[in-house]
Amino acid sequence: MINNIQLGIFKKFNGDADAFDRAASADEKMLMGDSWPVIADLIHDLILIYKQHAGDDYKSEVERRLERVCESKAVANGLKELAVTLSR
C-alpha cells in the first residue's frame, strides 16, 4: 500500500525515477520498495483525468485503484494534488 512516507519521497524527487535511482538514500530506497512505478502510473492516470483526456469509465477505474493501493484517503488526495502540480 502506498503511504505518506512513500508519497513524500516521490515528491522529493519530483517523480524523476533517474534522480531517485542516483540520489536516494538506502533508507529511502528501502521505504519505497516496489511502490515507485505504482505511484508513477497513478500520477500519469490522474494527469490524464485532470487534463480531461479520460472518460468516465477510466476515471472510475482509477478511483477504484486509488482505493485499493492507497493506505488512506489522505494519501489518495495527496496523489491527486501532486498530479495537478506536475501537470503544469
Share of the chain above pLDDT 70, in %: 100
Total number of domains in the chain: 1
Asked whether the predicted pLDDT for residue 68 surpasses 90, the reply is: yes
Domain that includes residue 77, residue range: 4-86
CA angle 63, 65, 70 (to 5 degrees): 100
Q: What is the pLDDT of residue 55?
A: 95
DSSP state of 54: S
